[in-house]
Chain A
Amino acid sequence: MDEEAIIYLVFTSIIPVIAIANLSAFGGGFLPYFVIILAALEIAFLFAMNFADFLLFPVIMGILGITFQPYKDYKITRNQEAVVKNVNGLYYATGFTTANLFAFVFKAEREEEGQDVKQVQAVDVWEKVVMSIPFSFKFHVISAARDVQNVRDELEGKRSYQEFEMSKALNSKTSNEVVISDIQRKINVIQTQIDRISQGEKPIATIMYFETTAVGVSEKAALDTLAAQIKQLQIAASSLDVQMLRVVGRELYVLFKYSFALPTEYQAMTANFDVQQ
């Protein structure tokens, strides 16, 4: 959880807490209990919005039946899962899925497990994916280089923290071999990342996602075809070792906007998404 989330949660949780602290203002009987239940629900809602707004927001918009027009001729559907465009009576529905190549992220951990072989295989795997898909799609990688010195400082800070944890674990009577080897593994991963930067490799942050478009004579037909295409895409790309989740809600809106204008700064790029570093 980042600092911003903590600030928002602390501020907004004050309201239900104050309500509970002033139960006497509601008189006697069953009402104070009702206030406690309401306050608990409010806190639960705030936490749910913080951790799973991508689940709540489409449900709320679906119940209210609200659709959005992000730009002229486009519509974001009530379930917040696709952008639809009507062109001469044909509906084009566009959807997005995440495609973070975690295998690449964990390269540092698996240095000894034949990363070179994986790199060699990547070309063939990608070609097989492309050949097995009979509809239009786009695979996007948005990347931006990070400040080398900042990343280095950050990694060294992390390494120092892990080394401190290690010394604590070694001195503690309760720690076991599993804890120590886990900390050692974390130190090794960080050290490998520092070494890679020292060797001249640029640290970058990336966002990877698939975009696909389906067509239909009605909005429903286009959305149904889109859902089928996304499923097919998920199956086809499974060999890439990617985690593919359907993008909904505000992230869909942001990715849709990227079709016309990319973020121009690193900070703008990382504001809406967890990036792969």
Chain B
Amino acid sequence: MDNRIFMFLGLFALSIIVLIVIISVPLDYMSPIEKLALLIVAFFFDSLAFSTRFYSYLFMPMLKQRRRNVVLNSEEAYWLSSSTDSIIHKEGEDYIATVFIKVPLYRSGTEMTDQEKFEFTNQIARIVSSSSSPARFTSQLHIMNKDEYISTLRGTASASESEEAGLLSRSAPDTEVNRIRGKSSMWHHMLDNVSRTISLELVNYVSVSASGIKEFEAIAAAQQRAREMMSAIAAVFGISPSVITGEAILRFVEPEYLIPYSTATEQITKSIREEVI
């Protein structure tokens, strides 16, 4: 039987017991005020019994820990499978593997006729109804991680500056110095532009999960579901979906990958500056 039912029955029984005590004990042995206090206790247990319908997962941790920050789970939420193509989550005794499939759809409404738009929405409806088991279809807009690009630009800009300094120290011809100066200025300008604005990227992906009593069983089942989903996507849109592997999965799971660190700090500095001004 479900834990929730046990909790409900336990709390309900407690409530009944307290109520029986209130009713059966004569007023000579228990004052009316004491009875009223016990009635409040009975109602408290009764309310808790009803709350198990939705919140049974909170009760045991709250009772055991008795503190303001209740730890429901101190483990990591998931881990990457050894094949790096899925994440594994443990739920009770079961393992749940989730596979992420990238859907490379790069079509825009601006380049479609009305008939194509109509067909496109029908294709989306067909894909959404293609899986018999639950599947999640996601459109994700996230901030591009430009850290690497910015550092490359910085390197190139400083290389140009060094080159300019070298030319000046060798008393090179003005035309040559001006050419390098222009190049250096171009890289600096590009660096300013790139770091001033945030760039957003829209990706579409599908995730499917499967459970198993062993880790490998869950992974195999999830991969099977992913293959079915990929063939459905390929058949409907005529594109080649691919399973996302390794660190790229984190972009769809971890919040810090949605807003890269450097962009976040830049964004915060900018908003503080605006507030101060």
Chain B contacts for A137, CB-based, 8 A: 140-141
Name the one of B15, B91, B139 contacting A139, with C-beta atoms under 8 angstroms: B139
| Cβ-defined contact, B135 with A143, below 8 A | yes
Contact of A116 among B57, B89, B118 (CB under 8 A): B118
Interface status of B244 (Cβ within 8 A of chain A) = no
Task: Check: B216 CB closer than 8 A to any chain A CB.
Answer: no
Q: Separation in Å of the B240 CB from the closest CB of chain A?
A: 22
Task: Tell me if A42 and B46 are in contact (CB < 8 A).
Answer: yes
Query: In whole angstroms, how far apart are the Cα atoms of A29 and B16 in the complex?
Result: 25
**A49/B50 in contact, CB under 8 A:** yes
Chain B proximity of A103: nearest CB distance (Å): 12
- B75 CB contact (under 8 Å) in A5, A72, A213: A72
Query: A258 on the interface (CB 8 Å rule)?
Result: yes
**Which residues in B have their C-beta under 8 angstroms from that of A85?**
254-256
Bound CA span A91–B272, Å: 16
Question: Could you say which of B40, B134, B141 contacts A266, with CB atoms under 8 Å apart?
Answer: B134
Q: Which residues of A contact B108 (CB under 8 A)?
A: 127
Q: Mark B40-65, 1 if CB is under 8 A from A, else 0.
A: 10110011011101110110001000
Per the 8 Å Cβ criterion, residues 229-277 of B in contact with A are 253-256, 258-259, 261, 264-265, 267-268
Interface residue? A123 (CB, 8 A)? yes
Residues A264 and B211 in contact in the complex (CB < 8 Å), given A42-B43, A69-B71: yes
The one of A12, A50, A135 in contact with B49, judged by C-beta atoms closer than 8 angstroms, is A12
Q: In the bound complex, do residue A123 and residue B15 qualify as a contact, i.e. CB atoms below 8 Å apart?
A: no
Residues of A within 8 A of B121 (CB): 119-120, 122-123
Tell whether, in the assembled complex, residue A27 and residue B39 are in contact, meaning their CB atoms are under 8 Å apart. no
Q: Which residue of A lies closest to B128 (CB)?
A: A143
Nearest CB of B to A68, in Å: 5
CB-CB < 8 A to A74: which residues of B?
77
Residues of chain A in range 2-59 having any CB-CB distance to chain B below 8 Å = 4-5, 8-9, 11-12, 15-16, 18-19, 22, 25-27, 29, 31, 34-35, 38-39, 42, 45-46, 49-50, 53, 57
Q: Which of B32, B47, B208, B256 sits near A87, CB closer than 8 Å?
A: B256
Q: Does B152 contact A (CB under 8 A)?
A: no
Known: A90-B261, A133-B141, A260-B78. A266 touches B133 (CB 8 A): yes
Q: Are B131 and A144 in contact (CB under 8 A)?
A: yes
Cα-based distance from A264 to B74 in the complex (angstroms): 24
Residues on A with beta carbons closer than 8 Å to the beta carbon of B55: 57, 250
- The smallest C-beta distance from B153 to any residue of chain A, in angstroms, reads 23
Q: List 17 A-B contacts (CB under 8 A).
A: A25-B35, A38-B39, A39-B43, A46-B47, A46-B50, A67-B70, A68-B58, A68-B69, A75-B69, A87-B256, A123-B109, A136-B143, A138-B140, A139-B140, A142-B136, A260-B96, A268-B134
Chain A positions within 8 Å of B, measured between CB atoms, are 4-5, 8-9, 11-12, 15-16, 18-19, 22, 25-27, 29, 31, 34-35, 38-39, 42, 45-46, 49-50, 53, 57, 64-72, 74-75, 85, 87-88, 90, 92, 94, 116, 119-120, 122-124, 126-127, 130, 133-145, 201-202, 204, 206, 213, 215-217, 221, 250, 253, 258-266, 268-269
B contacts, CB < 8 Å to A: 8, 12, 15-16, 19, 22-23, 27, 32, 35-36, 39-40, 42-43, 46-47, 49-51, 53-55, 57-58, 62, 68-78, 87, 89, 91, 96, 98, 108-110, 112, 114, 117-118, 120-122, 128-143, 198, 200, 202, 207-211, 253-256, 258-259, 261, 264-265, 267-268
